[in-house]
Structure 1
Amino acid sequence: MRTQVIRRGLVAAAVVTTAVGVCVGPLSASPGATSGGNAASSDKATQAGVDSTSALVQLKGDPLSTNARTKPAQGKKIDFSSSAVKSERAALSALRNDFKAWLRTNAPKAQIVNEYDLALNAVAVRLNGTPLDTLRGAPQVTRAEYERTYTIADSNDPDLSLVHAVQAWRSSQVGGDANAGKGVKIGIIDTGVDQTHPCFSDAGFPATTQLGDKRFTNNKVIVAKVFNMKGGQQGYTPEAVQEHGTHVAGTVACNLDTPAVVNGVDVPYDVSGVAPAAQVGNYNVFPADVQNVRNEDLVDAMEEAYVDGMDVINMSIGGNASGAQDLGTVAVDNLDRANMVVAVAAGNSGPGHYTVESAGSAERALTAGASTVGHFVGAAITVGATTYRAATGDFPVVSSPLTAALGVVTGTTNGLGLACDTLPAGSLTGKIAVVSRGSCSFATKIRKAQDAGAVAAVVVNNVAGDPIAMGGDAAVQPAPTIPAYMVDRGSAAGLVAANGQSATIDATLAYFRTGNDNIMAGFSSQGPTDTSARRVKPDVVAPGVNVLSSIPTHLCGGSPDCWTFLQGTSMATPHLAGMAGVVRGAHPTWTAEQVRSAIVNTAAEGVLTRYTDGTTVERDVNVTGAGLANLLAAVGARIAVGPVSTSFGTIPGGSGQTRTATVVLTSLTGAAQTVSLSVDSVQGAGVTFTAPSSVTIPATGSTTITVTATSDKGAAAGDHSADLRFAVGGVEIAHSVLYAYVG
């Protein structure tokens, strides 16, 4: 039987209806929403340290922190539930509304993009050509000044900041931004790479022998080949027709500091791939509009990439795992043994255990789970005194402000219906429909709303974190033509309560940086693998929600400003592939296994939170693997651990058995190291994990230790895990997951 593998990209509809969580919602509705930094400057460098296109405007009246009625007693914090605070917030909100009304009359081009009442009683304003002195003349204003800009070492790209990429580039191991991935070749097995995009300009790259169809290569994209059984008779080429592969490649290796514009919004940082100095290979297994690739074509592409000298390959793909290793996973394992790192998506079949897909289920794959990046491009939707931030996606947006009554489709998902079935005729005539994410595609929901008479649609997220850029669905015909946006889950209650009230969708789009980072994606596939080995997967997590990257320029009418936000474990995987490229470039003598270990066994723990609420730390190793990847730690790794995690398989319930496994340790420093070992972070009652207390790893070669899992006869059924920690001089240098299943 032929195995079909599908690309793992945009997630259309997460079917999650669990408890309400805490996330950024209306700008004026919660303490978190009024803190600074949620909307970044739209100007990169108009002046040194100053953004003259934006202003902070301080209004009359003291903020909550200094107001005599609301400031806290010494050593305490503001009580946001007190009647005095609620009353003062309402008064400050009314003052801001007065200023908004003044702006509409006296400075109609100016746009309020953020509001504050805690540290400042103020608003942030996009001037859009309005003189600063005009705002200073408003009766409500105390002070107005251009916004200042601030930077830290790795702040120029949120994705890179979360995985400490820029700090890694500037480490002694890498030697600077220009060296990040230099001399390394990374193969993209996907839908093609558009070499005409500015991300892949070959300016400054060395003249390189180019392979395949040279119409689609340059000295940055050095290979362009197509793999499809019917490729010859169909006339397929390696050209990047679909968006997925170019987006993935941009995350891997977009050239350093490439300016980006999304839907006309100038993104306030310049985009870089994780390994910007790397060269890439285009191995197109989804040519033209092909949606599936067979194992034979996939393995062909993998082998060709190896022969072509790729050091790393990225496979943001997934297919059903069958309960045993298929040949695709065997190929992955063997190529790793042959010293090529293979980064693979875990899949988008979560939540739930045993959802990890092939080939991410391969033992030696560098398998990626997905977490959030807290930013998006969108518009403001105002209902009374409350403003919601709404993400744009593949659907139309308003060209001028649209005002209409809200038409809430009621149901059981935070009070909202899913709108997957036909709605009563005329039930939304002239209204802005409000529906929940889940069960069916976004295009289906929006089309159902349009057919019921809606003039626009707002989809409310059903998982914690920011709204996402909604993707289209070619299967929905006729395609929806009304404007559509997504807001976060925290907006549900306010929108349901405002049913029938007038709402205005602003036509001006803006970039929002929210800080809703490191929340596990509900769609991210989970382990253990559905095999007797029950391996922990994913191995490690990287940003995979609201990831900004390049797409083919033909999708933007040939404009080089061709970018979009996508989500999926497809978007997390290239972060790992890029990391592998940087690590391999910094340490060319390390084996593929050692590179994988450096990335997995130095990951940050305790920073990933649950998709259900966005605040509770996720401790399940089959959700997070070793944690959030940290490139700075990876390039400085001191030992390699093999395998990167240890599974003891299934221990029969009530058996009281002891299982053993071996772990191979190698020094990466060129010197012998005496390492202390400990076991902690035990999850699940009744299984004890043990390891030697110390071991000396030789300067060359390796040493092997034995670890054990002992099950009590009364051990609880299900998952059991712990962390095996390695330290030198009391400082942890690596950690590895130990896992057993009792049943």
Structure 2
Amino acid sequence: MSILFSLMLFLSPPDLSLIIEVEDDPQETVEMLETYYPQIDILEVYDTIFNGIAIQTDQRNLQKLRKQPFIKKTYPAQTYQALRDTGNINQSIPFILQEQLPYTGKGVKVGVIDTGIDYTHPDLQASYQGGYDLVDLDDDPMETKVEQGIPTTHGTHVAGIIAANGKMTGIAPEAELYAYRALGPGGAGNSIQVMAAIERAVKDGMDIINLSLGNSINGPDWPTSVAVNRAAEFGVTVVIANGNTGPDLWTVGSPATASQVVSVGASTPELQQPYLYDRFQQKRIEIVPMEGSVPWDFTKDVKVTTDLQQLQGHDKILITERSDIPFAQLAIEAEQQGAAALLIANKEPGLFQGAVEADVSIPVAAISKEDGDWLTDHPGYLLLEHEPVSDTITDFSSRGPVTVNWAIKPEIVAPGAEIVSTVPEGYQALSGTSMAAPHVAGILALIKEAHPDWTPAQLKAALLTTAHPLDGYQPVEQGAGKVDPQAAIETDTLIYQSLLSFGQRTDLSEQVSAKLVVENVSQQTQQYKFSLPPQEQEIRFQLPPSFQLEPNEKRELTIQATIRTNSQSEGINQGYLYLNDRPLPYMYVTDQAEVPQVMGLELSVTPLDDHYYYKLYLVEEAKRLTIDLYDPQTFAFVATVDEAEDVPQGVWEGEIQEEELLERPYIANITIETKAGEVYQYQTGWGG
């Protein structure tokens, strides 16, 4: 499943562990604390991609620290949630590793920043080498167990895809696995924990880091995006799940928005996709089986109903509408009432993905609002059917592009649907870009073993240069296309900056350009020739002539184009050029594109001063920003939280003056007035 953003307030227990961001040298801060506050335990020092310290102390000592000027921030309350129904990794892995390769990832260090790893699992014992827990701040990065809160499995599943070495075999079974637990009970953690985990992994000398987590901030300069770019600058290849909020555009979130990482979308391996069919009405109902539910395996027609009274003693499928009630609770109640299966209809157009985190013995699936309405009006009998699918982009896989810098994301795709891997005490099938990313992390371990001197830029270029675009999909859905491990290992050419973004274009006609670098990494002279795509009226390319490169020679090239826009232009114009047979995705955005202007509201409390804050992200500079709260039941206006003028682009933080506005849930309506006089509104949850 995917790791998703949620909102929470940080509440300090009597004895508290904190990660504190400091203004100056963290070593000097440590010396000061050891001298003047000997009762405070210094747990960690972070001075690489993050500037801070981890401490543990009681409330009395925290009171003494309140006024210290060295404190910049303490634990923002923004939460990350782990990004995540019957296959086998032995189905997805042979699908992309179609020939036996002489590489196993031996000697390559892979850090998994996630919910921890069950290192006692028999398939992971050989690969696991250690790690750190950024939640409890100790050396035991075990998954959350039931006695500690809501138990987790996500990190163990990710780890198995990368390097399982037992009953199941991962992509790189002899890679060295390290766990960095940044997400605690229920798969939740905050951005400082994630950034501190990245810092620790860099210091521990990881070659590759996998982050199957993210948030809803579609911007390149959110702190976690900056942090992973810094990790790449230190020589670490960072792989990040693109997110699970597709199929809409602009849904990729930080840190997958970072420019120097490998952002991974989800495609389908070979699988049997279930759907429901009304033979009398000749109506097909698309279903998305919920993660954790039992398989759909009906062998006869089954009646559907929305009436609980009709369930007792009959094999019927109950249809209910998506609400604030957890999916697991809906499933338990449906099973107790006698339902044979449960369909949960969306409240909004389109499909969605969900999980059933409970022991339920009936199949549960999501359906669209449109199909839910149709079934309510036509409560007939449905037959379960299956169809083979492969090499499609999953609906849940988040799409690009990125706001502000207009980058193409994802950059590559890998299997992420119905992937069985290791979990505590066994195996489980999960779906999500969380499952796609570790396939790529494992492949990078194989490439790193084959080419130990290659830099993160070379490793990334090998992946993108040799990918295969899937038919019927655009660059903002798949980037360069489907990963090809063998071709990436054996490539004779590396193309850097191969995803060509021509930015946002508003003039009626203008010349644009983008640069790329081609490197011949073979021992033979190589000939290169561009293939011109079908010429369109809106974009005309002027491509470099054919050229050759000697062994180990590099050349920078300029791709030029003339772009003409008008009122009929597409919001996003995109396609593929080719250098020989190597894909070069291109894209530009016009003023017809519906670009989101604000996103990602989070709430936090600073434990050292009890101040409450909100933080959000603005895509463009705003003339005015207003946050109003409304009652979620009556939609009556409650209060204005804040008003601000001349708000700059990027991360914006404001203080919440009335604490009582955090005590119950509201709907927050954020109104942005742009410099051009346009008004944009965005609604999201608040408080509670």
Question: Is contact 1:374-1:514 (8 Å) kept?
Answer: no
Question: Any residues of structure 2 matched to 1:716-735 within 5 Å, and which?
Answer: 716-727=569-580, 732=581, 734-735=582-583
1:286 Cα deviation from its structure 2 partner: 1.5
Question: Which is further off, 428-437 or 712-721?
Answer: 428-437
Indicate how the Cα distance of structure 1 residues 470 and 456 shifts in structure 2: closer, same or farther if over 3 A, else same. Answer: farther
Question: Any residues of structure 2 matched to 1:88-487 within 5 Å, and which?
Answer: 157-163=90-96, 165-167=97-99, 169-170=100-101, 175=102, 179-202=103-126, 220-228=127-135, 231-232=136-137, 237-241=140-144, 242-255=152-165, 258-259=166-167, 271-287=168-184, 289=185, 291-321=187-217, 323-375=219-271, 394-395=292-293, 406-409=302-305, 426-435=309-318, 439=322, 442-447=327-332, 449-450=334-335, 453-459=337-343, 471-473=355-357, 483-486=362-365
1:527 Cα deviation from its structure 2 partner: 0.5
Indicate how the Cα distance of structure 1 residues 721 and 589 shifts in structure 2: closer, same or farther if over 3 A, else same. Answer: same
Partners of 1:5 and 1:688 lie apart in 2 by 45
Question: Is contact 2:290-2:355 (8 Å) kept?
Answer: no
Question: Which is further off, 442-451 or 597-606?
Answer: 442-451
**1:527 corresponds to 2:400:** yes
**1:738 corresponds to 2:586:** yes
Partners of 1:646 and 1:468 lie apart in 2 by 31
Question: Any residues of structure 2 matched to 1:57-76 within 5 Å, and which?
Answer: none
1:313 Cα deviation from its structure 2 partner: 0.7
Q: Secondary structure of the residue that 2:343 maps to in structure 1?
A: strand
1:8 Cα deviation from its structure 2 partner: 4.0
TM-score normalized with structure 1 length: 0.59
Question: Any residues of structure 2 matched to 1:540-579 within 5 Å, and which?
Answer: 540-553=412-425, 562-579=426-443
Question: Is contact 2:539-2:562 (8 Å) kept?
Answer: yes
Partners of 1:711 and 1:390 lie apart in 2 by 40
1:236 Cα deviation from its structure 2 partner: 8.8
Q: Which amino acid is the alignment partner of residue 528 of structure 2? A: V
Indicate how the Cα distance of structure 1 residues 238 and 370 shifts in structure 2: closer, same or farther if over 3 A, else same. Answer: same
1:667 aligned to 488, 498, 520, which one? 520
**Which segments of 5 or more consecutive residues in structure 1 lack a partner in the other structure?**
12-38, 41-154, 203-219, 260-270, 411-423, 474-478, 506-511, 554-561, 608-616
Partners of 1:695 and 1:735 lie apart in 2 by 17
Indicate how the Cα distance of structure 1 residues 735 and 567 shifts in structure 2: closer, same or farther if over 3 A, else same. Answer: same
Indicate how the Cα distance of structure 1 residues 513 and 574 shifts in structure 2: closer, same or farther if over 3 A, else same. Answer: farther
1:652 aligned to 506, 519, 544, which one? 506
1:692 Cα deviation from its structure 2 partner: 0.5
Q: Secondary structure of the residue that 2:416 maps to in structure 1?
A: strand
**1:686 corresponds to 2:538:** yes
1:10 aligned to 67, 71, 84, which one? 84
Q: Which amino acid is the alignment partner of residue 675 of structure 1? A: Y
Question: Is contact 2:214-2:256 (8 Å) kept?
Answer: yes
1:252 Cα deviation from its structure 2 partner: 0.9
Structure showing greater relative contact order (alpha-carbon pairs closer than 8 Å, 6 or more residues apart)? 1
Question: Is contact 2:469-2:478 (8 Å) kept?
Answer: no
Question: Which is further off, 565-574 or 369-378?
Answer: 369-378
Question: Is contact 1:435-1:458 (8 Å) kept?
Answer: yes
Q: Secondary structure of the residue that 2:226 maps to in structure 1?
A: helix
TM-score normalized with structure 2 length: 0.64
Question: Is contact 1:377-1:391 (8 Å) kept?
Answer: no
Q: Secondary structure of the residue that 2:389 maps to in structure 1?
A: coil
**Deviations 1:131-172 (CA, angstroms, capped at 9, x unpaired):** xxxxxxxxxxxxxxxxxxxxxxxx993212332x142x43xx
Partners of 2:492 and 2:572 lie apart in 1 by 30
Partners of 1:352 and 1:469 lie apart in 2 by 13
**Equivalence for 2:603:** none
Indicate how the Cα distance of structure 1 residues 327 and 445 shifts in structure 2: closer, same or farther if over 3 A, else same. Answer: same
Q: Which amino acid is the alignment partner of residue 298 of structure 1? A: V
Partners of 1:397 and 1:678 lie apart in 2 by 46
1:191 Cα deviation from its structure 2 partner: 0.9
Q: Secondary structure of the residue that 1:304 maps to in structure 2?
A: helix
Partners of 2:583 and 2:172 lie apart in 1 by 25
Indicate how the Cα distance of structure 1 residues 392 and 735 shifts in structure 2: closer, same or farther if over 3 A, else same. Answer: closer
CA RMSD between the two structures: 4.2
Partners of 2:320 and 2:416 lie apart in 1 by 18
Partners of 2:496 and 2:276 lie apart in 1 by 50
Indicate how the Cα distance of structure 1 residues 436 and 591 shifts in structure 2: closer, same or farther if over 3 A, else same. Answer: farther
Partners of 1:405 and 1:649 lie apart in 2 by 52
Question: Is contact 2:220-2:258 (8 Å) kept?
Answer: no
Partners of 2:559 and 2:302 lie apart in 1 by 60
**Equivalence for 2:551:** 699
Indicate how the Cα distance of structure 1 residues 596 and 502 shifts in structure 2: closer, same or farther if over 3 A, else same. Answer: closer
Question: Is contact 1:5-1:318 (8 Å) kept?
Answer: no
**Equivalence for 1:97:** none
Partners of 2:290 and 2:250 lie apart in 1 by 33
Q: Secondary structure of the residue that 2:587 maps to in structure 1?
A: strand
Partners of 1:383 and 1:651 lie apart in 2 by 49
Indicate how the Cα distance of structure 1 residues 434 and 717 shifts in structure 2: closer, same or farther if over 3 A, else same. Answer: same
**Deviations 1:620-659 (CA, angstroms, capped at 9, x unpaired):** 21011111111121112222222131211101142x0111
**Deviations 1:506-536 (CA, angstroms, capped at 9, x unpaired):** xxxxxx99632222111111100022x2000
Partners of 1:488 and 1:496 lie apart in 2 by 12
- Number of residues paired by the alignment? 498
**1:516 corresponds to 2:380:** no
**Equivalence for 1:111:** none
Partners of 1:573 and 1:156 lie apart in 2 by 13
Q: Secondary structure of the residue that 1:277 maps to in structure 2?
A: coil
Q: Which amino acid is the alignment partner of residue 4 of structure 1? A: Q
**Equivalence for 1:622:** 476
